[in-house]
Amino acid sequence: MTEQHACSCNEALASVYDYLDSEIEAEAAQAIAGHLQECPPCADQYRMEQMVKALVQRTCCQERAPETLRVRIVAQISQVRITYRREI
């Protein structure tokens, strides 16, 4: 990572799902986009997540999950992110 990055690798990867879904503020999205342009390992991880998301969208049915399930999944993802950050 160089001093030019507006965010660290940990910050970029912790927000990669929100970035993929366009669910973050414009300033944060811009910082992540800049980081991904300058950091090949993070860009590789981002591309992998893009492919996984595209594959899931193609192979899954188009029905919406109940909101309670969505809330539980988001909570679990958040917990995994917290654990991941602690291990790094």
- pLDDT value of residue 82: 80
- pLDDT value of residue 63: 75
- Domain residue limits at 52: 9-62
Exposure on the CB side of residue 45, measured as CA atoms within 13 A: 16
CA torsion angle for 60, 68, 18, 48 (degrees, to 10)?
A: -30
Given a cut of 70, is residue 4 above it in pLDDT?
no
- Residue 74: inside a domain: no
Grade residue 88 by pLDDT with cuts at 50, 70 and 90.
low
pLDDT tens digits, residue range 22-74?
999 999 999 999 999 999 999 999 999 999 888 887 777 667 778 999 899 98
Query: What's the structural domain count of the chain?
Result: 1
Grade residue 5 by pLDDT with cuts at 50, 70 and 90.
low
pTM above 0.75, yes or no: no
- Residue 25: inside a domain: yes
- Residue 38: inside a domain: yes
- Residue 48: inside a domain: yes
- pLDDT value of residue 50: 92
